[in-house]
Structures are given as structure tokens and as C-alpha cells.
Amino acid sequence: MSAERAFRLTDSTLRDGSHAVRHQFTTDQVRTVVGALDRAGVPVIEVTHGDGLGGSSFNYGFSHTSEMELLRVAVDTATSARIAVLFVPGIGVKDDLRQAADIGAKVARIATHCTEADIAEQHIALAKESGMEAVGFLMMSHMISPEDLVEQAKKMESYGADCVYVVDSAGAMTMDGFKARVAAVKSAVDVQVGVHAHNNLSLAVANSLAAFGEGADQIDACTTGLGAGAGNCPTEVLVATCAKSGIETGVDTFAMMDAAQDAVRPIQPEMGVIDRDGLMLGYAGVYGSFLLHAKRASQRYGVDTRDILLELGRRGMVGGQEDMIIDVALELKREGARVR
Ligand SMILES: CC[C@H](O)CC(=O)C(=O)O
Ligand SMILES: [Mn+2]
């Protein structure tokens, strides 16, 4: 692995971590976390509802505080970090992106299911027109082959994306699968390539470093791993591991450890453990943000969360199909599935 190259780190605690706290982040928490990450030297910090701009809804869960207000606090607090937003076409609308740009967001990450890059065209263009850096974010990348992913990445590049991400939303990829996708995309596009890993199989740090070895230019992480499912690649662990390997992140290892311990641990609902349900996400290849919805359906209908997740994986359910979780739980109950 080259010690000469560097990558750009994006910390997504205040976006992916929003799933883990049921979208209840407050302005004080955002001020504290952005302040700590900015002091540590994290170059990009993402702040949005877990499901992106406009996510606050009955389907995805209502935010405690409007994301535009959280964004304003983040922009005001950061002294050098660029603030990023996530945007899923269909969940957010164009005005959300414009408003985020007006507030001062500098990076727009346009996320689609890995086979749907074409719905990102107008939003990537709008992000660029609004003066933001545009990132294409291909979710659930484990569901298609490296060759098919390349086709989707090339589309995002052709729309003007500055970087295209391989996203392991389900934390389902082992190192070979992750490396194969990153290597294929890297050799096919001229723009940067990024990765976003979830830790359901305990491989998020290893996969991220393996992706760096294949040429990844940008890597996502969440402080303490706070994120959907069993969490994301933990920023402080990634930074410390990179320091030991001679990989430049520009982030101060001690200050990053402090950010994790003092700013994020106190707001973490439970330790980021890979319990049986979190592990099942990775095993069955299920979207990380389905976990809390599936747990709720399990309690409500008395069906084992793992059976719900396994069935969601078998049916290939993707983000936006949250309402199907209840249908699946009810069907399993009727069929007399295992009761917890
Ligand atoms: C659109 C929500 C989702 O959580 C995005 C993401 O982080 C992922 O797919 O992993
Ligand atoms: Mn994620």
C-alpha cells in the first residue's frame, strides 16, 4: 500500500449517525461535534437527516430539529472543514439543494440506488450550478457486478460528478468484492472514486484500507462508528490505523480520539456493537437504515427481526421501500415465522 498517496476523509456522523439516534440531533450536539471534528482537522463533515435532505417525514422518521437549522449551525461552527449534504432524488427536492447551497454547504452528495444513476442527472447539474462540489453516491453497490457498477459510475461522471462513490450500504461486502468494485470503477472513470463502508461484518476499516489500496481518493467514516445498522467505519480508528501505516489523512490522531470520546460517545444511544440483528444486515445484504424499522416491526408483530431482515434481503428491498417492512412482518406472522 502506497504511503505517498493521501485520501480525503468525510465524516458522516451527523448524517449517517442520524439513523442511529432516530434523527433526534440537536443544535447543541451539532455545534459540539462539528467543533471537535473541525479542531481535529477533518476536511469534510456531512450534516443532514439520515435519509438526506427532505428526509424528515412519516416514512423515514421526523427530525427533532430542522436539518437546515442544523446545517446553519454546522456552517457557522466550522472554521476550515467543508460542510456536505446528502440528497436522494425523490426524497429531497431541488429547492432543498438550493437552500443548502445558500446556507453554505460546499459538497452535495447525490445518492441513488446502484442501478438508478440516471435519476441523478439534473441534481448533479444543479449542485454544480449552485457552486457545490458534486459527488455521485451509488448505494447498495453489493447488489450488482463490478461491470454493471462501472456503467452506472460512468453515467454519474458524464453528468458532471467530481467523484463517484462505491457505497456498501448493507455492510455486506467482504474485502474481495469491495476491492473488485473499487478497482473496476477506478480504472473506468477519470474523476475521483470514494468509498462508504458499514461495519455489519466488522470489515469497515479493513475494506476502506483495501479500497485505498485500489486507488480510492475519498473515504467516509463516522466517529465512534455512529451510523445505520451496526454502524460505519469508525473515523478515529481509521485515522489511527492510517497514522500507523503512514497514510496521510491530515487529521490529528489524538484530537480525533478526543472527538470520539468527549463529543460523540456521550450522545451515542448504545455502543456500536455487532449484535445478531446488525450482523444479519451484512449477512443478508440489507440496507442499514432498515434496522430500526425492522426492530420496531418485530416488537409490534412478534416476529424475529432476523427473519424480517432475511426476507427483505431475499426480496432485494432497497431504500425507499421502508413501508414494505411492515408487510413482510405481517406476512411472516401469518406464515407462523419464528417468534422472539
Ligand atoms: C439515503 C440514506 C442512506 O443511509 C445512505 C447511506 O449512507 C448508505 O446507503 O449507506
Ligand atoms: Mn451509510
Taking only the tens place, the pLDDT of each residue in 100-114 is 999 999 999 999 999
pLDDT band at 117 (very low <50, low <70, confident <90, very high): very high
Q: Long-range contacts for 248-255 (Cβ within 8 Å, ≥24 apart)?
A: 248/5, 248/6, 249/6, 249/7, 249/9, 250/6, 250/9, 250/41, 250/43, 251/9, 251/40, 251/41, 251/42, 251/43, 252/40, 252/41, 255/36, 255/39, 255/40, 255/41
Mean predicted confidence (pLDDT) in 294-303: 96
Query: Residue 336's pLDDT is what?
Result: 83
Residue 100's contacts (CB-CB under 8 Å, 6 or more residues apart) are 53, 68, 71, 85, 87, 108, 132
- Ligand 1 pocket: which of 10, 47, 86, 199 to mutate (most atoms within 8 A of CB): 86
Residue with cell 461491470: 147
Q: Quick check: CB of 288 below 6 Å from ligand 1?
A: yes
Q: How do residues 53-87 score in pLDDT, each as one tens digit? A: 999 999 899 999 999 999 999 999 999 999 999 99
CA gap 91, 143 in Å, rounded: 21
User: φ, ψ for residue 289 (rounded to 5)?
Assistant: -75, 0
Q: How do residues 132-149 score in pLDDT, each as one tens digit? A: 999 999 999 999 999 999
Percent of the chain residues topping a pLDDT of 90: 93
- Residue ranges for the known binding site for substrate are 15-16, 169, 196, 287
- Residue ranges for the known binding site for Mn(2+) are 16, 196, 198
Query: Is ipTM > 0.90 here?
Result: yes
- For ligand 1, atom 7, the nearest C-alpha belongs to 16
Q: How do residues 202-238 score in pLDDT, each as one tens digit? A: 999 999 999 999 999 999 999 999 999 999 999 999 9
**pTM for the whole structure:** 0.95
Residues with CB under 5 A from ligand 2 (ion): 16
The answer to whether residues 50 and 61 touch, using CB atoms and an 8 Å cutoff, is yes
Half-sphere exposure for 70 (CA within 13 Å, toward CB): 28
The answer to whether residues 131 and 103 touch, using CB atoms and an 8 Å cutoff, is no
CA gap 45, 42 in Å, rounded: 7
Q: How do residues 191-212 score in pLDDT, each as one tens digit? A: 999 999 999 999 999 999 999 9
Q: Quick check: CB of 88 below 6 Å from ligand 1?
A: yes
- Ligand 1 pocket: which of 287, 292, 293 to mutate (most atoms within 8 A of CB): 287
Q: How do residues 9-32 score in pLDDT, each as one tens digit? A: 999 999 999 999 999 999 999 999
Q: Please give the C-alpha separations between residue 89 and each of 55, 120, 278, 290, in angstroms, as whole numbers.
A: 11, 7, 27, 19
Catalytic-residue membership of 19: yes
Mean predicted confidence (pLDDT) in 297-301: 96
